[in-house]
Structure 1
């Protein structure tokens, strides 16, 4: 009976120690998310600009279209310059 109580007490002390690594893994999972892609970063920046300019509806759509395609145009111009 004394051995049983000792084993239960040790198991009770060891349980939080065994649960801690699982909690640490769960906490590090959000930190391990992938960084946003270039397109996602561009979309975030364009959304922030549109919000700052308080654009809505068709004006916002037109702005977003030009904002998102701006880097493509710049890249093409850079290629033309370097050639």
Structure 2
């Protein structure tokens, strides 16, 4: 049951991270509400996606626990983090 709950929570967090990454384009507007273009848009989207990835890393690190609730370590943690971060960015 704990395993299922962990997957549900992780899935919800990943969907939230994916929505954040997709909304970077929508958030790329200037102070007057006009859409950014060119280098300004590229810079904004790059920073926005980096911030979303940082948030995903923080979420993944808090979810890196085994079925008994103990924090993962070593190769297990590395593998979990890699997959979790990749999944978060895929959307």
> Please, what TM-score do these two structures have when normalized by structure 2?
0.37
Greater relative CO, 1 or 2 (CA 8 Å, sep 6+): 2
Structure with greater proportional helix content: 1
Q: Which has the larger radius of gyration?
A: 1
> Please, what TM-score do these two structures have when normalized by structure 1?
0.40
